[in-house]
Amino acid sequence: MTRGDLERAQPGEDPTSPRVVVVGSGIAGLTAALHAAASGCAVTVVTKDVLEHANTRFAQGGIAGVMFDDDSAAAHERDTLIAGAGLCDPDAVRVLVTEGPTRIRELIALGVAFDRAADGTYVKGLEAAHSYPRVLHAGGDATGSVIEKALVARVHASGAQIIEHAFLVNLLLRGGRVAGVDLLVDDRRRAAIEADAVVLATGGAGCLYAHTTNPSVATGDGIAAALRAGATVSDLEFFQFHPTVLADGDAFLVSEAVRGEGAVLRDEQGRRFMLDVHPDAELAPRDVVARAIAEVMAGQGGRPVLLDATGLRPTRKQTASFLAQRFPTIDAAVRARGLDWAREPVPVTTAAHYLMGGVDTDLHGRTDVPGLYAVGEVARTGVHGANRLASNSLLEGAVFGARAGDAIASDVAGAFWPAATRPAT
């Protein structure tokens, strides 16, 4: 699908268009909405807060994808499988890495300006467990926010109906298939929206934990609604803990990209403990690093470990200016806490970050409840196994959001769902 296809999409004009409700407004939901609209569906996007306030907006590190000639889909696939601890679904991983570059180019066409070097080439970012620096970022460490803004602008222009401050109470079911959504709008009024298909893009469930990098909207209600509707969910035990959030004040994420740039972890004696844990030290898979931090903290009375970014450039002044330019969001958060991370290591701890499990789907986001799709963090596509590779989450949202959005019109017309559960025409 080209930018032109997405721009021409004007859903809702034709009364025979399949009616699609997308619940959630992060990269997965908005991509699904745009693709469904472009294939002729009348789309309504429902979101619990305002459209922009999805978890996507907080993604710092970037989006992983094979965008450079000396990288390969085989290498990205291998890294994803290894990080996933042998529990990924290889077919889903193959789809992710082979279709990823197309989706990243689609974001670029929608106006996402990934950071470029002086020579005009995209800046290559390295994160843990990647064998190649394939992570593109925007605004330094504001990648999610830049992507979210571009998608929100496009969805507004697409003619999709948008309902904000609407909480998903339940999925409506009729004749064995999903028939719409039951919403609580503005905390006071119930509203039912009939639909031929519903796409759950409700994100994760970090707010189940006292310490999380997730915003207040990540409450797992999409998974709960899917369960009540009879959908299969799995791998809910695989909750990823991010190794580094500031241990001072709110759990503010310090991107893995900081370690990708060379920052190291130390215990309170200043010892670089990851050297004894894994050959890739601080760039070992995220679960390995998070567990090691938890062990070190347990051995030092629960006190945080230290993230040392002081040596990233030859002088303190150069380090300070590099950190401010490469990580402006984190730099501001660190300094707001009265810390100077160019001068001294800063205290960090782990926090709940990402749910690998969720609502089971096939390779087009279809769940086992006819008419119900799940994309993004709410879904269990199988791409993450037991531990998601860094920066594969935005990619998964884009790839499987597009796949679901593209599949809906023909599914509703009867090409996929069993006849007994097709909507009445």
The CB-nearest residue to ligand SIN is: 61
Alpha helix (H) ranges present in 15-128? 27-38, 73-83, 90-109
Is 145 an interacting residue with respect to ligand SIN (CB under 6 A)? no
**Smallest gap, in angstroms, from Cβ of residue 60 to ligand SIN?**
4
Which residue carries 């002729």 as its tokens? Answer: 40
Asked whether position 60 contacts ligand SIN by CB under 6 A, the answer is: yes
Position 393 contacts ligand SIN (CB under 6 A) = yes
The residue among 367 and 392 lying less far from ligand SIN, judged by its C-beta, is 392
Q: Does 390 bind ligand SIN (CB under 6 A)?
A: yes
Can residue 214 be called a binding residue for ligand SIN (CB under 6 A)?
Answer: no
Q: How far apart are CA 225 and CA 137, in angstroms?
A: 34
Q: Judge whether 103 counts as a catalytic residue.
A: no
Residue choice 11, 61, 376, 423 for contact with ligand SIN (CB under 6 A): 61
Min CB(174)–ligand SIN separation in Å? 38
- Contact characters 240-259, ligand SIN, x per CB under 6 A: ---------------xxx--
SS in 3 state form for 298-358? HHCCCCCEEEECCCCCCCHHHHHHHHHHHCHHHHHHHHHCCCCCCCCCEEEEEEEEEECCE
* Number of residues lying near ligand SIN (CB under 6 A): 9
CA distance 174 to 172: 7
Alpha carbon dihedral 26, 29, 35, 36, in 10-degree steps, equals: -150
Q: Which stretch binds ligand SIN (CB under 6 A): 110-118, 226-234, 388-396, 400-408?
A: 388-396
- For the bound state, the minimum distance from the C-beta of residue 166 to ligand SIN, rounded and expressed in Å, comes to 27
Binding part of the chain for ligand SIN, among 99-107, 202-210, 228-236, 386-394 by CB under 6 A, reads 386-394
Residue type, 292: A
Question: Which of 286, 366, 388, 403 is flagged as catalytic?
Answer: 286
Q: Please list, residue by residue across 157-195, b when 16 or more beta carbons sit within 10 angstroms of its beta carbon and e when fewer do.
A: ebebebbbebbbbebbbeeebbbbbebbeeeeeeeebeb
Q: How far apart are CA 376 and CA 403, in angstroms?
A: 11
Cα of first residue to Cα of last residue in the chain, in angstroms, is 28
Catalytic residues: 286
Residue numbers of the site for ligand SIN (CB under 6 A)? 60-61, 255-257, 354, 390-391, 393
